[in-house]
Structure 1
Amino acid sequence: MTDTSYYVILNANAGTAHAIGATAEMVGALFQANGLTATIDDDDERDLTSRIADAIASDAPTIVAAGGDGTITALAAALVGTDKNLAILPLGTVNALAKDLHVPLDLAAAVAALATGTSHRIDVGEVNGRVFLHKVVVGLIPGLAAGREHIRGRQDTAAKIGFMRYFFRRLTRAKKIVVAIEPSNGHHRVEKVQAIAVASNAYDEGLGQFFSRHSLDRGTLTLYVLRHLTVGDFFRLTSGMLLGHWRSDEALAMESVQQVTIKSRKSMLKVMFDGEVESLQTPLHFTIRPRALSVIVPAVTAEAEVAA
């Protein structure tokens, strides 16, 4: 990269940021050590929308999300359609997009990677006009994820045991939902399912590849339909993901689509939206926006993309 000017939005309350005590001074020092100029916004008292607007209005060609997946998705949504790049300092708990882009999870290494990084365009998904980077999940999974929120930030054994009890209790009592699935290039049908996920591109199948994506610019959505999920299904699917043979599991169906609409009798559905639980109004209209977002990736990642 030739321009070394960056505007950083720091969420010091994100999982890893809080754990390591990340501050504006710490992040600024890392940029300076790598010969990079950065404006650091760590004002958590202001709403994120206003902070993002200030970042976009700045002269910096690259806006850096220093936080978790929620911060990254919010910033990405604002950058789609602009001439600015998104860069990531993975300071959250999951850091899903950073892992897909092979951004170092160590803060110092991630900043150092910016110095030699290059821009690469990736797809984004949309549901009812809102941008998502990973997936939107309907059905059982959002309810299970909601239980996780009660122990976020807690590392004690009692909290973990309590969540596992909650998880398996919900799993054994879970009811299926009835939805109409209407892909633009496939068969329209009504199904009774445990969960549905719509992902930007597709998750890879391979040894140890757990919800990871090698390619983010294929220009397709992937529809995953989980028809049932017993305790046995859960352990079989989990082990299948770790061993690299989950796509053929009889509980799961998948297909590539350009657009898909999911209808329900309910006016609102609880979803997991890029890892955050919320409610969306139905019907849910999904589409893909090919190569709509410019992201900064490490040089080694760019070289691997060219080789592929």
Structure 2
Amino acid sequence: MIQPARDAPFFVVLNPGSGRGDPDETRALIERVFTEAGREHQVLMCKDRPVSQVAAQAVDLACARQGIVVAAGGDGTINAVVNAVLGRGCAFGVLPQGTFNYFGRTHGISADTEIATRALLESSVEPVQVGQVNGRAFIVNASLGLYPQLLEDREAYKQRYGRHRVVALWSAVVTVVRGHRPLRLLMNCEGEQRKVRTLTLFVGNNPLQMAQIGLPEAPVTGAGQLAAVMLRPVSTFQLLKLMLQGALGRLGEAEDVRSFAFEELAVRPATPRRKVRVAMDGELFEMRPPLVFSVSPHALPLLKPRALPGDAAATPP
């Protein structure tokens, strides 16, 4: 695993649409911390170009200068930068700016931008597992069915009412009440084939998220395996009850939930379709079936902060 030089330059991909703070103030703060430390840096803002394009530019610059690429944004922004970084041989850092920040919290990275930026100066690289669907990487989760619809509706509500967890929860309730048609899928999991009927297929790569909703696969998620979660078609009332159980960390106790760990899972609709909508780390994509979920052969060279005694910022809640 690559370890960058102590004076390696930083190339920061900053998404101004992430978080609730002023992006110009965030940029100024990041630049001030690096300047005070005497570290060369460049902040690339994603104003008029997609994050993926800015991320590709940052990776090219980092590879040419033996530098470090940093994603400043939510899990969706981090996903885009990870897909540019993975397999390129440059180290990767994170400045969490999103609503839930599962990736940052899992790896002890503070949501306070100044603390997280200073931590990058003293961090060391550790390999982190990445999931993939048909070769596209995801860091937290990937899903199809009801969950992508929840994400689409949540984004619409956030644009209207702001980026708050209460808004996300309310939008989920509204989506569930509207109803959703079950998926009919053909699945092949490590040689075993079966037909399933489910409201959603959720694949997790984040042990913190799995533990918070109370699934027994949490310990192995991100440690060589992924975790699949399926919801049996149920009434609206039962689905709301499942949401409550998940919020209370007791989803694994529900009879209408099936979960299992795996290394590779192939899925395609029982009725042929040209494309399937897939959500990855909060972003929506159209992908051609079959969908093959697996652990990426490339580990992510993540800059992780040193865990100091009594440092709450370095410990996931």
1:271–1:53 Cα change, 3 Å: closer
Matched-pair contact (CA < 8 Å) for 2:276–2:288: yes
- 1:143-222 paired onto structure 2 within 5 Å: 143-155=149-161, 160=167, 163=171, 166-170=174-178, 173-184=179-190, 187-200=192-205, 202=207, 217-222=222-227
Of 9, 13, 23, the residue aligned with 1:9 is 13
1:201–1:141 Cα change, 3 Å: closer
| Deviation at residue 168 of structure 1 after TM alignment | 3.9
Most deviating of 101-110 and 40-49: 40-49
- The answer to whether the aligner puts 1:65 opposite 2:65 as a matched pair is no
Of 228, 235, 240, the residue aligned with 2:233 is 228
| Deviation at residue 281 of structure 1 after TM alignment | 1.6
1:27–1:154 Cα change, 3 Å: farther
Number of the residue aligned with 2:142: 136
Separation in 2, partners of 1:67, 1:122: 19
Number of the residue aligned with 1:269: 276
| Identity between Structure 1 and Structure 2 (%) | 23
Most deviating of 235-244 and 66-75: 235-244
- The answer to whether the aligner puts 1:39 opposite 2:46 as a matched pair is no
Superposed CA RMSD in Å reads 3.3
Matched-pair contact (CA < 8 Å) for 1:30–1:111: yes
| Deviation at residue 89 of structure 1 after TM alignment | 0.7
Separation in 1, partners of 2:79, 2:14: 14
Number of the residue aligned with 2:305: 298
| Deviation at residue 230 of structure 1 after TM alignment | 3.6
Matched-pair contact (CA < 8 Å) for 2:232–2:257: yes
1:93–1:101 Cα change, 3 Å: same
The alignment's TM-score, normalised by the length of structure 2, stands at: 0.81
Separation in 2, partners of 1:44, 1:151: 22
How many residues align? The count is 299
Opposite residue 56 of structure 1, the aligned amino acid is V
| Deviation at residue 153 of structure 1 after TM alignment | 3.5
Unpaired runs of 5+ residues, structure 1, are: none
1:107–1:213 Cα change, 3 Å: farther
Opposite residue 10 of structure 2, the aligned amino acid is Y
Matched-pair contact (CA < 8 Å) for 2:204–2:221: no
Separation in 2, partners of 1:190, 1:203: 30
Matched-pair contact (CA < 8 Å) for 1:180–1:263: yes
| Deviation at residue 138 of structure 1 after TM alignment | 1.0
1:163–1:245 Cα change, 3 Å: closer
What secondary structure does 2:153 align onto? helix
Most deviating of 30-39 and 111-120: 30-39
Number of the residue aligned with 1:111: 117
| Deviation at residue 299 of structure 1 after TM alignment | 0.7
| Deviation at residue 2 of structure 1 after TM alignment | 5.0
Separation in 2, partners of 1:46, 1:164: 30
Q: Deviations over 1:80-126 (max 9, x none)?
A: 11221111111223322112112100111111211221211111111
Opposite residue 48 of structure 1, the aligned amino acid is V
Separation in 1, partners of 2:220, 2:33: 30
Separation in 1, partners of 2:122, 2:26: 24
1:208–1:112 Cα change, 3 Å: farther
Number of the residue aligned with 2:85: 79
Matched-pair contact (CA < 8 Å) for 1:224–1:254: yes
Moved over 4 A (4+): 159-162, 201-210, 212-217
Unpaired runs of 5+ residues, structure 2, are: none
1:7–1:130 Cα change, 3 Å: same
Most deviating of 20-29 and 274-283: 20-29
Separation in 2, partners of 1:206, 1:218: 14
